[in-house]
Amino acid sequence: MARRPAPNVVGSRRASHPGATRRLVASLLVSVRPHQWTKNLIIFAALIFGRRLDEPAVVVRTVEAFWVFCALSGVVYLINDVVDREADRLHPAKAQRPIAAGDVAPGVALGVAAVLAAGGMAAAFGLGRSFGLVSAGYLALLALYSGPLKRLVIIDVLTIAMGFVLRAVAGAVVAEVEIGHWLLVLTVMLALFVGFSKRRHELVSLAGDAAGHRENLGRYSAPLLDQLIGITAAGTLIVYAISTLSPETIEKFGSGQLGLTLPFPVYGIFRYLYLVYRKDGGGSPAEALLTDWPLLLCVGLWGVAVIAIIYAGPLPIWGAAHD
């Protein structure tokens, strides 16, 4: 019988190495959560409402700022997953995260986070000292959230809200426009609404195991979160209505026609509440925005309406400033 040649062990290892590298890269890409980068779109708010959307150079700078925050968001997610890896293994969904599942070693994740942080901060300061400082503040705040702040009732959600505020401020800084106080208040209220909705989803989905997954969740209750969600939902709509019809807004844009866009946030808030209470949604706001077509369509139409009113000028139907 002819002797079968011995397998090329070295060759096999070399052949498997590229596959292992690709799997690691894919797992790291999942860990930085690109689907969550939609949260960074708030950076464009100041560009739009500051009436600089028609200036290519400013648009390019804002796009660069968006990618900087995507990198910094990735840093936060990597740190968060390393810190929470033991608790995530007890969660039905989070156990599939690459770090919790053991597909990415904590040391590798922290190394990649360090590289992203260094590159992101270098790019941030390249866009200006003020933008760099805001970016550093965002990174520091969210890193603290991954540590002690996540364990403090109410403070945890307020920290998330402040992260959105810093995104909005960063957009204003890089576009070199005035930071509108209405935009900041609206950002806080909307972020609190989404944050409390997410806490409710976590609490309900984990049922009696909520405190075991994260001690802080055990300090919330569904009735408390229902009240907080109701307050922040109403507050978001009230602030939006007042801000679009305020004298300073009418003076700035030459009409009160931004008030005509109110049906869009009304439907958006109500649709999100429907997803939270009837479809067991709210666990991932970014996923809801990308997968729920009525909500996605609502946001898209709102954006088109706002841009049309701001840049095409007031329609000859209602609310001209000098009528």
Candidate from 15-29, 110-124, 227-241 with smallest mean pLDDT: 15-29
pLDDT tier at 281, thresholds 50, 70, 90: low
Burial class (CB in 10 A: 0-12, 13-18, 19+), 208: exposed
Per residue, the 3-state secondary structure of the chain, as one string, reads CCCCCCCCHHHHHHHHHHHHHHHHHHHHHHHCCHHHHHHHHHHHHHHHHCCCCCCHHHHHHHHHHHHHHHHHHHHHHHHHHHHCHHHHCCCCCHHHCHHHHCCCCHHHHHHHHHHHHHHHHHHHHHCCHHHHHHHHHHHHHHHHHHCCHHHCCCHHHHHHHHHHHHHHHHHHHHHCCCCCHHHHHHHHHHHHHHHHHHHHHHHHHHHHHHHHHCHHHHHCCHHHHHHHHHHHHHHHHHHHHHHHHCHHHHHHHCECHHHHHCHHHHHHHHHHHHHHHHCCCCCCHHHHHHHCHHHHHHHHHHHHHHHHHHHHCCCCCCCECCC
Query: What residues pair up with 255 in beta bridges, in sequence order?
Result: 320
Q: Rounded distance, CA 298 to CA 267, Å? A: 7
The per-residue pLDDT for 278 is 83
pLDDT of 290 strictly over 50: yes
pLDDT average, residue stretch 228-233: 95
User: Which residue shows structure tokens 């400082």?
Assistant: 133
What single letter denotes the amino acid at residue 117? A
pLDDT tier at 305, thresholds 50, 70, 90: very high
pLDDT tier at 322, thresholds 50, 70, 90: very low
The per-residue pLDDT for 207 is 66
Question: For residue 102, what are the contacts with CB-CB under 8 A and spacing of at least 6?
Answer: none
pLDDT of 197 strictly over 60: yes
pLDDT average, residue stretch 159-165: 93
Six-digit token pair at 296? 């996605």
The per-residue pLDDT for 315 is 57
Residue among 235, 308, 310, 296 nearest 264 (CA): 296
pLDDT tier at 12, thresholds 50, 70, 90: very low
pLDDT tens across 256-272, in order? Answer: 889 999 999 999 999 99
The per-residue pLDDT for 283 is 60
pLDDT tens across 93-120, in order? Answer: 788 889 988 889 999 999 999 999 999 9
pLDDT average, residue stretch 232-245: 94
Candidate from 6-20, 174-188, 288-302 with smallest mean pLDDT: 6-20
pLDDT tens across 52-87, in order? Answer: 998 999 999 999 999 999 999 999 999 999 988 888
The per-residue pLDDT for 18 is 67
The per-residue pLDDT for 319 is 45
What distances in angstroms separate CA 271 from CA 261, 264, 265, one per listed residue?
16, 10, 10
| Average predicted confidence (pLDDT) for the chain | 85
Quote the CATH superfamily of domain 34-179. UbiA prenyltransferase (1.10.357.140)
Q: Phi and psi at residue 114, in whole multiples of 5°?
A: -65, -40
pLDDT tier at 171, thresholds 50, 70, 90: very high
pLDDT of 89 strictly over 80: yes
pLDDT average, residue stretch 139-150: 89
Domain ranges of the chain: 34-179, 180-315
